[in-house]
Amino acid sequence: MKHENNWVEKAKKNAALEAVKHVEDNCVIGLGSGSTIAYAVEELGKKIKLENLRVKAVPTSYQTLMLAVRYGIPTTILDENPRLDLTIDGADQIDEALNLIKGMGGALAREKIVASASETLIIIADERKKAKILGENSQPVPIEVLPFAVSHVTLKIKALGGKPQIREGAGKVGPVVTDNGNFIIDAYFGLIKNPAELERKIKAIPGVVETGLFVGMTDIVYLGKHYKVEKLERKK
């Protein structure tokens, strides 16, 4: 197990190093959330200092904001910079068309907003995240929901054939509350043959703030493997 963790952490870090090479002087970037992104934030902080870069970042969570502050990365907000040059983010599952499931860290809504605001979306992950079809290995789709609507959305998810579970957190009793003050439903759909259609149907439910299905958004994936990083690019 320890051995496994070693290569996974190296793979995450190596993928992060490749992504940070895309950051140039005067870039405004989005920074996702999670354990892989933590490596990218640290590396970006070093790069900004070493190369004296004027870079600003929009963090997608309190986790990333605090890391950005720790590593000396100037932060900004979308109201000041509504167009971003690139976003670097992690993922929970990546299919062959580079569609994603995201949100096991609970930051999916802000992550999708910065991805949509960006010229280029770069995803970094270790190779365990690669899947033939989204939903493999009982991977749920995280859905951010207004607390007022949680029971209503639960019923609608069941009607779509999903098995919804309200996410409960460590360190607190009751539902996880996102950085936006909402709840997360983890919805199990089995194999998702048509992610675009499922995304449309879930988004149409009143009370759904955002889903963790990122369809057709990714430009580049750096996939950390045992001894190398594989670069995958979306076919345009």
Q: What are the residue numbers of the active site? A: 111
What is the nearest approach in angstroms of ligand 5RP to the Cβ of residue 129? 7
What is the nearest approach in angstroms of ligand 5RP to the Cβ of residue 51? 25
Judging by beta carbons within 10 Å of its beta carbon (0-12, 13-18, 19+), is residue 149 exposed, middle or buried? Answer: middle
220 Ramachandran zone, left/alpha/beta (phi>0; psi -120 to 50): beta
29 phi, psi to nearest 5 deg: -125, 155
Give whichever of 43 and 111 is closer to ligand 5RP, judged by the CB atom.
111
Tokens (6 digits) for 236? 């345009």
185 and 153 in contact (C-beta within 8 Å)?
yes
What is the nearest approach in angstroms of ligand 5RP to the Cβ of residue 172? 18
Give whichever of 23 and 124 is closer to ligand 5RP, judged by the CB atom.
124
65 and 110 in contact (C-beta within 8 Å)?
no
User: In the block, which residue shows the tokens 């995958």?
Assistant: 232
Give whichever of 87 and 154 is closer to ligand 5RP, judged by the CB atom.
87
What is the nearest approach in angstroms of ligand 5RP to the Cβ of residue 130? 13
**Sign of the CA dihedral 92, 101, 107, 235?**
positive
Question: How many CA within 13 A on the CB side of residue 22?
Answer: 24
How far is 88 from 145, CA to CA, in rounded Å?
Answer: 24
CB atoms within 10 A of CB 76: 15
What is the nearest approach in angstroms of ligand 5RP to the Cβ of residue 123? 8
Give me the residues that bind ligand 5RP (CB under 6 A), please: 32-36, 89-92, 102-108, 111
Give whichever of 116 and 158 is closer to ligand 5RP, judged by the CB atom.
116
Tokens (6 digits) for 94? 């990546």
125 and 36 in contact (C-beta within 8 Å)?
yes
